[in-house]
Amino acid sequence: MQEEGGMEGETTNAPGPSLGRLRGFAFDLDGTIWAGSTLLPGAIELVAALRSSDIPVVFASNSSRHGAAVLAARLTGMGISAGERDVVAAFDLVADEIVRRLGRVRVLPLATADMDELLASAGHDVLPLEDWARAQAVVVGNDPAFDFGRLRAASRAVAAGAAFFAVNMDARFPVAQDAFDPGCGALVEAVATAAEARPIVIGKPYAPLFERTLERLGCRADEAAMVGDNMASDIVGGRAAGMFTVWIDGRGDRAVDGQSPRPDLIARNLPELHRFWQNQRQIPE
Statement to judge: residues 125 and 192 lie in one domain: yes
Specify if 44 maps to a domain.
yes
CA–CA distance, 55 with 185 (Å, rounded to integer): 33
Supply the DSSP string of 112-166, one letter for each residue: -HHHHHHHHHTT-EEPPGGGGGG-SEEEE---TT--HHHHHHHHHHHHTT-EEEE
Q: Is the dihedral of CA 203, 204, 206, 208 positive or negative?
A: positive
Measured CA to CA, the distance from residue 201 to residue 262 in angstroms comes to 22
Q: Is the per-residue pLDDT at 119 higher than 70?
A: yes
Is 217 domain-assigned?
yes
Assigned domain for 1 exists: no
Please tell me whether residues 185 and 247 are part of one structural domain.
no
Average pLDDT, the chain: 90
Are 215 and 193 found together in one domain? Answer: no
Rounded to whole angstroms, the Cα distance separating 246 from 263 reads 6
Contact between residue 173 and residue 30 where contact means Cβ atoms under 8 Å apart: yes
Q: Residue 258's domain spans which residues?
A: 19-62+205-280
Q: Assign residue 253 the CATH number of its domain.
A: 3.40.50.1000
At residue 61's C-alpha, the angle toward residues 176 and 270, to 5°, is 60
201, 235, 257: which is the final residue of a domain? 201
Are residues 125 and 182 located together in one domain of the fold? Answer: yes
**Total number of domains in the chain:** 2
Residue at which a domain ends, from 183, 201, 219: 201
Does the pLDDT at position 36 exceed 80?
yes
Residue 10 lies in a domain: no
Residue 94 lies in a domain: no
Are 210 and 122 found together in one domain? no
Phi and psi of 175, rounded to 5°? Answer: -115, -15
Residue 250 pLDDT greater than 80, yes or no: no
Looking at the structure, tell me whether residues 226 and 274 fall in a common domain: yes
Question: Does residue 180 carry a pLDDT above 90?
Answer: no
Sheet holding 57-61, edge to edge: 87-89, 57-61, 24-27, 224-228, 244-248, 265-267
> What are phi and psi for residue 222, nearest 5 degrees?
-75, 0
> Which of 171, 201, 231 corresponds to the end of one domain?
201
The pLDDT of residue 254: 55
- Per-residue pLDDT of 214-241, as tens digits, reads 999 999 999 999 999 999 999 999 999 9
Examine the domain organization and report whether 121 and 176 are in the same domain.
yes
